[in-house]
Structure 1
């Protein structure tokens, strides 16, 4: 070993050579989704506190002559005044923002791969997001504050060249397209869908304009009302399991998004077919009921949607009719402070080259049922393109569908949440932002702790939204209208929607995300001080501890205890199905039955159901000892059971009953209106019961002829039934 060490010290180390072109092309510019360049550059704009972003698509004629060939391009239907976005090829993309100019440190980072922004309040962590532009260009040019920097390849190595430029209010990134990227404008409808979602969690950017050869064809405006504070519930646990994240405040704000699109841009259509756009939403869980079950190998591949909308005759290049789309939604926010352990802090700094943020807002979107219904109506009214807010990378997700809500880290990642609300927080992603990192040591620990905040906020939103439904639920004389009542239909639908919204499903690409969120969703309450979990029942919104599972044996007479709603094969997954044991809906107990009997007088049909349940249950017990033990509860049942007889006002109390009418003895001789002894239950109550099981189950004896005759001559018998005043022939 000594000789080897000595030999090693005499050798000269050689630098590892990196093929920078291959590194950029194969790693840094390979992102999993469309519109990645815009995602990264808009995030840079938001970090620079920009309020407005311009995206410009330019043809070679426009770039060459600075006027787009006198303002004319190839047109539609033989005209020259409206650009043909379907076939006209682009030469250059430009993205501008009105944020802070580049400082020296910003220029320096552009010349260094993987030198992330050290500012803990900035999103960028790895310093590679900007290099996504190399997916479309080999020579980006950055202009800001009177300075410029061009980045280009010589051979396989990257070089930069700085220079001065004219002063402008804009910071601009100009990208002359690679030859194979000189294709028409991305589908404007799809781009608008992406940008509307992209701007959701941006802290500064409020406006985006998109143009073709300096003619604006898309405008997007985000508005935000004044936030309303929410008190942190005292029985919720506002800190993560390892005490890294602390929730100091909560708020909610209504946010709106408006998209304007020219009709000639709208006419370019969308890449998504109506069949693909609808995803799996509302599909039956029964595979036989799905069309694909019968399609077999003959099923055709999805086709690009055709352009079916004609351009308005009133449209011109300079003055096109505008189509306007609007949506609004609630953004719930948790104000988070962090206190990572020394080991976690050190590990995060080593991996991200920056301190973890000391504070930030964690946000979650809630889309109301009314807004979701509006998107569904848009899809139905325009089946060719659907809703501009719904679809791949869209703002509105599909409940139980293909396009689910996502995790945002400033911008959207490919990681879904497993529920129907987008979430945004200071997660640390994988390098390509495909998902959040739950693999690498300290980063995984940070992300797991942050997912607790996500689960906490999701639970808070659920509690807030379901309580709104509960407060608005219709009542009559202070009594909640039953869920099945038509008067409760609006409340019922809103409650069902809220429960469906928060029904956790497997997240992708990492299934652990939804599992961690779900655990936090149910564990963020101090269970010892709060055992309440509200759900929709047959009697409005009730806590699960007071709700019982539906059971056919009890449904005919148990009316006071709320039950979960019935389900059918093929129904979407239910939040009730994933409740942990501590919040689970319970089965009926004998105490429930006794409380029901104590609480009201049953109708005859209800009492028949109660007796049927008891007799069938006792007769099903095979062991004598078990039967005898169970019969000790009979007195609790009969002491409290009261029932009306038919439609009359007469009431019988079971504790007075000791006999029943044996059908094998008395039928057909006994008539329904014949008087019975007061200790004999009317035959209508026991008609449906097996007479062999009545005595063993209820300890009643068959009424004898002596019993009946004695009653007919008793002083309390009414004159109409007095045997001494009426002749009976047998």
Structure 2
């Protein structure tokens, strides 16, 4: 078909010849230019393709495709023909004259294998798609044998040129192409086809009258002419690849459905024929055509036909080869330019129409047209290669510096001048151009991309609102919508600066130019102030504020509700308030209705505002509040009483303003003086009006002596004496019995009557006062009255006296005590009988369960007890009662605090009889006595025992069970010589004391906390030292023993040594510490020196020689060296097995040793010794003829173990002397030694 169009064909025929309902031959015919000699010649070379750069295609693949279905095609044109045939694998042609009279160029193809009859609908669609972009071809007919099954025709309106304005850049990015002109025209495609079943038989075409479909569509085409300007180098590369040079001129063509064409196509047939579905892509993407449709989409709703170079498969655009990609991209860029020019032309047409469109219908139609254009050129990712769509889209926006034109509510404008609509703002935005709602909804994808990705447009913002406010006055409805939007805007988290807010409040005008939101302070609550009442100018009109929530008005505008008191300040200045009875009544009713919800302070403000206003409606006109009376004040008929339809509704307000509920007392007293009224008539009237009396009137009645006293004597008085109510009592028998003044009362008295209640409220006493009843209950009142008064006081205490009663302030001794005729104040007596031992008063025991509520304590306070104990300790008889006193104090032990016990610990209150003067009592403080004292120490530590209960209290005060280590240490420092003399040779008593002290040094460390005491212990002769008193000196060299008796002395630390070397002790016999680990640790703590460390020893072997004895011993030691470390842990080893193996043994005549202790020097001969070789890291064991293996063991143990004792020596000696077989039987590892001997 493309070849036919290139050959200027106007019509083609396609004939499918069938046999047995399959296609066996295809005839393709066109009425274009006949084949020229060069065409015949080129046809032979099918791989070269058409060298004409104006023609589509490369490689000759168009004709080559025939061989996929036909082995021997035959071509006839202009009376000549060419046949193709095969010999083996080689293709040959035969050419000659053709006797056919047919003027059409024909391609005859006999099928290699029969093929199925094509689907008429699908084949029609393919042909229609191909016909869309042909320049010359206008008619296509398809025959099945001799039956016409498809006829397609194309009608083209004469194209009109479209002006390219100077604002467009007509060059591609690398200036390879230039768009020189554009022609736009309309196209009509018609189709007539048979509608047959899917599996029909060709023979049936003659037998059955099938239905025929006739349909038409209308399209718009834009043809862009391009000049091509490429370098020679690039042209050469193109020719190498495509076998043809780039053209000097080319074109691009777009098929799209304009708004009118779209409507015409839709109207012509409600259901568009499936034949044209691919051409009418809107709103889907169009495709790129290269004579036929490729698989590549354009990204927008237009089809594009261009001389782009396809891939070998001819289904997509070649963007892989660098040269072809550059060529194709440059061509596609100008396709984007063509799209933009077409779009802007459409906008210009809409602009011209819009300016003259007034009717709502016309504008709605234009909005649909604009939405259609914008949707048409909205780019989406193209497929399969998204780069194609990106190229077109980028050039669409980049080909001009002018902003994209769109239709707004103010006409066609640059997109940067238009705002995205906000439904919440449309009620008041009129001047700012926004995208019409219809366009925004239909083109939502474009505007999201334009805003978020391309940054072409933005939302309506706060500055736009300010601009709108600056340029016009808003109506009331618009202000309502504006404020509703502002609340939503702020509530959504948007920040408004102080400057912006100030502008907003200042530019929003209500009603006139001077009344702005800045002047507003309040909003109206119709539940408080009716909407028909006058309000201040700073109140927002209710018609506006009613649409908003009160909390939003407060939060976002800073307005507060118009309160009753603010309105009252405004309305009180209205002249009508004192002139117009109806107006005044309405104002007062509003105030009254809301008074209960008004604070005390605001009520007072309202009172002050109206109290001086003549605004109270009465039966005698408007009066001041204090001149008017409530309606129920009828004692005198000439009073101005208030007039309201519902008096109860204004009662609280009238009370607040001071409208009188009762006649003032002065008037009452004046009018009563004229009549014959007694005090009974007065109390009856006042009682009936008691709830309406003011506080100062009640105060007057309480303080005025109005009431007479009952005359108990019955004598006639010249003048009635009158009293205030608080000095009189109710006329009860009890008050009479107590002799109290009683009110003169006629008739039966009852406290529950209105009169009785009123008099009691004025202060009439129902029962004796606290002061009176306590005076009656205490001496010297008559015993009978006193007893009755006391019982009455206790029985009625909770009801009548509890709140007023304070035991600390009672000065009446009215409480009977256990001692007869003894009375006390609540603070002077106690309930617990045990405290009597300390001379405290105790309540009479039959009252002990009733007086606690009167402030009588169970026991005296701890401070009182301690003070009393100090007083009692001065008396001799205290010693006899001490046990009981201490037992009572033990029962109070939990009441004392730490400071109390500290105080008692220092106070001498513990009695002990003098051992020498038995009648004499000596007082000690708790820290000076003990409960137990060991034998021999009673002379130094006083011992007490008052019984278990009393002792528990004394223990809490500081008495210790026995002397502490600190006490014992002080005893030794202060009286060691005296104690030493008293023990009379019983050394264990003294040693036990030292052991106690030693234990404290080792664990408790109480003595260690007293450095001064330790210093004294170090300097004083307080330690037991041992010295051998020898009766006969006998030295047995090496055995370390000597005869003598241990003698004990007291000495100081600097003279006593720790006996840690028996040899040194035998040599010097110094004062040494007792050989107990516990005592030795104490002596070391106090500074006693180690005898071992204090002696300097120098040894010199004499007559050194190596003998059989020494060799044998050395061998024995080396052989058994491993046994000596058996079961010893590494941290116990001083020198290891290797040291022992290297130990040399030598025999000497003797060893001379010099010992020096301080200034004392001794010389002795020894038998055995281990010495380090002079200047060498080696050691030698020296033995003499007198040495024995026990001595050897002792010296070796001392050198190989860090710590050793006699057990280690014995163990070593056993290992050294026992036969190996015996050791093996004992379980020692001697096998290796025995093996070495073998």
Q: TM-score, normalised on structure 1?
A: 0.71
2:814 corresponds to which residue? none
Distance (whole Å) between structure 2 residues aligned to residue 339 and residue 243 of structure 1:
7
* 1:92–1:321 distance in 2 versus 1, CA, 3 Å: same
Q: 1:710-725 residue pairs with structure 2 within 5 A?
A: 711-712=570-571
Give how far 1:632 is off.
1.9
Give how far 1:313 is off.
10
Give how far 1:44 is off.
0.7
Give how far 1:352 is off.
0.9
| Contact kept in structure 2, 1:413 and 1:433, CA below 8 Å | yes
Match of 2:13 among 50, 54, 68: 54
Distance (whole Å) between structure 1 residues aligned to residue 170 and residue 259 of structure 2:
28
The 3-state SS of whatever aligns with 1:491 is helix
Give how far 1:428 is off.
0.7
Query: Which digits, 9 at most, give the CA deviation of each residue in 1:333-371, with x for residues without a partner?
Result: 111101123332222121112110111221111213454
| Contact kept in structure 2, 1:238 and 1:247, CA below 8 Å | yes
| Contact kept in structure 2, 1:221 and 1:259, CA below 8 Å | yes
* 1:724–1:360 distance in 2 versus 1, CA, 3 Å: same
1:115 corresponds to which residue? 48
Give how far 1:424 is off.
0.9
* 1:500–1:602 distance in 2 versus 1, CA, 3 Å: same
Match of 2:35 among 97, 102, 125: 102
1:342 corresponds to which residue? 232
Distance (whole Å) between structure 1 residues aligned to residue 301 and residue 206 of structure 2:
37
Give how far 1:188 is off.
2.6
2:479 aligned with 1:607:
yes
| Contact kept in structure 1, 2:10 and 2:139, CA below 8 Å | yes
Distance (whole Å) between structure 2 residues aligned to residue 717 and residue 241 of structure 1:
84
1:545 corresponds to which residue? 416
Match of 1:170 among 104, 107, 131: 104
Distance (whole Å) between structure 2 residues aligned to residue 395 and residue 719 of structure 1:
88
Distance (whole Å) between structure 1 residues aligned to residue 22 and residue 488 of structure 2:
79
2:403 aligned with 1:531:
yes
Query: Which digits, 9 at most, give the CA deviation of each residue in 1:505-538, with x for residues without a partner?
Result: 222222221121111111111x2xx123315x56
Q: Tell me which structure has the larger Cα radius of gyration.
A: 2
| Contact kept in structure 2, 1:254 and 1:331, CA below 8 Å | yes
1:179 corresponds to which residue? 113
Distance (whole Å) between structure 1 residues aligned to residue 295 and residue 145 of structure 2:
32
Report the more deviating stretch, 668-677 or 492-501. 492-501
1:675 corresponds to which residue? 534
* 1:652–1:366 distance in 2 versus 1, CA, 3 Å: farther
| Contact kept in structure 1, 2:440 and 2:447, CA below 8 Å | no
Give how far 1:670 is off.
0.3
* 1:171–1:639 distance in 2 versus 1, CA, 3 Å: same
Distance (whole Å) between structure 2 residues aligned to residue 465 and residue 602 of structure 1:
35
Distance (whole Å) between structure 1 residues aligned to residue 580 and residue 478 of structure 2:
29
2:610 corresponds to which residue? none
* 1:235–1:568 distance in 2 versus 1, CA, 3 Å: closer
Give how far 1:707 is off.
5.0
| Contact kept in structure 2, 1:557 and 1:610, CA below 8 Å | yes
The 3-state SS of whatever aligns with 2:137 is coil
2:1024 corresponds to which residue? none
Match of 1:137 among 63, 70, 83: 70
Match of 1:259 among 183, 191, 206: 191
Q: 1:264-663 residue pairs with structure 2 within 5 A?
A: 266-269=194-197, 315=209, 323-369=213-259, 371-372=261-262, 387-391=273-277, 394-397=278-281, 399-400=283-284, 404-473=285-354, 488-525=363-400, 527=401, 530-535=402-407, 542-551=413-422, 554-564=425-435, 574-579=445-450, 584-615=456-487, 630-643=497-510, 653-654=515-516, 657-661=519-523, 663=525
1:147 corresponds to which residue? 80
From the two aligned structures, give the one with the greater helix fraction. 2
Distance (whole Å) between structure 1 residues aligned to residue 440 and residue 450 of structure 2:
19
1:5 corresponds to which residue? none
The 3-state SS of whatever aligns with 1:131 is helix
Give how far 1:453 is off.
1.3
* 1:718–1:47 distance in 2 versus 1, CA, 3 Å: farther
* 1:57–1:615 distance in 2 versus 1, CA, 3 Å: closer
| Contact kept in structure 2, 1:267 and 1:311, CA below 8 Å | no
List alignment gaps of at least 5 residues for structure 2: 592-1238
Query: Which digits, 9 at most, give the CA deviation of each residue in 1:653-683, with x for residues without a partner?
Result: 31562311364xxx52201122222232224
Q: 1:7-26 residue pairs with structure 2 within 5 A?
A: none
* 1:556–1:641 distance in 2 versus 1, CA, 3 Å: same
The 3-state SS of whatever aligns with 2:76 is strand
Give how far 1:196 is off.
2.0
> Could you say which structure has the greater relative contact order, defined with CA pairs below 8 angstroms and 6 or more residues apart?
1
Distance (whole Å) between structure 1 residues aligned to residue 423 and residue 191 of structure 2:
52
* 1:587–1:399 distance in 2 versus 1, CA, 3 Å: closer
The 3-state SS of whatever aligns with 2:534 is coil
The 3-state SS of whatever aligns with 1:106 is helix
Distance (whole Å) between structure 1 residues aligned to residue 353 and residue 229 of structure 2:
41
Match of 1:220 among 145, 148, 152: 152
The 3-state SS of whatever aligns with 2:587 is coil
Give how far 1:110 is off.
1.9
After superposition, the CA RMSD in angstroms is 3.8
Report the more deviating stretch, 341-350 or 610-619. 610-619
Distance (whole Å) between structure 2 residues aligned to residue 716 and residue 495 of structure 1:
64
| Contact kept in structure 1, 2:347 and 2:405, CA below 8 Å | no
Distance (whole Å) between structure 2 residues aligned to residue 150 and residue 159 of structure 1:
8
How many residue pairs get aligned? The number is: 585
* 1:435–1:640 distance in 2 versus 1, CA, 3 Å: same
Distance (whole Å) between structure 1 residues aligned to residue 226 and residue 577 of structure 2:
80
Give how far 1:586 is off.
0.4
2:152 aligned with 1:248:
no
| Contact kept in structure 2, 1:148 and 1:162, CA below 8 Å | yes
Give how far 1:416 is off.
1.7
Distance (whole Å) between structure 1 residues aligned to residue 576 and residue 167 of structure 2:
64
| Contact kept in structure 2, 1:676 and 1:682, CA below 8 Å | no
The 3-state SS of whatever aligns with 1:175 is strand
| Contact kept in structure 2, 1:659 and 1:680, CA below 8 Å | yes
| Contact kept in structure 1, 2:155 and 2:189, CA below 8 Å | yes
Report the more deviating stretch, 537-546 or 584-593. 537-546
Distance (whole Å) between structure 1 residues aligned to residue 580 and residue 225 of structure 2:
81
Distance (whole Å) between structure 2 residues aligned to residue 553 and residue 573 of structure 1:
18
Distance (whole Å) between structure 2 residues aligned to residue 651 and residue 161 of structure 1:
99
Q: 1:22-101 residue pairs with structure 2 within 5 A?
A: 42-59=1-18, 88-101=21-34
Give how far 1:242 is off.
0.6
| Contact kept in structure 1, 2:218 and 2:265, CA below 8 Å | no
List alignment gaps of at least 5 residues for structure 1: 1-41, 61-86, 272-303, 645-649
Distance (whole Å) between structure 1 residues aligned to residue 173 and residue 565 of structure 2:
76
Distance (whole Å) between structure 1 residues aligned to residue 553 and residue 94 of structure 2:
99
Distance (whole Å) between structure 2 residues aligned to residue 488 and residue 322 of structure 1:
41
Q: TM-score, normalised on structure 2?
A: 0.44
Distance (whole Å) between structure 2 residues aligned to residue 219 and residue 592 of structure 1:
59
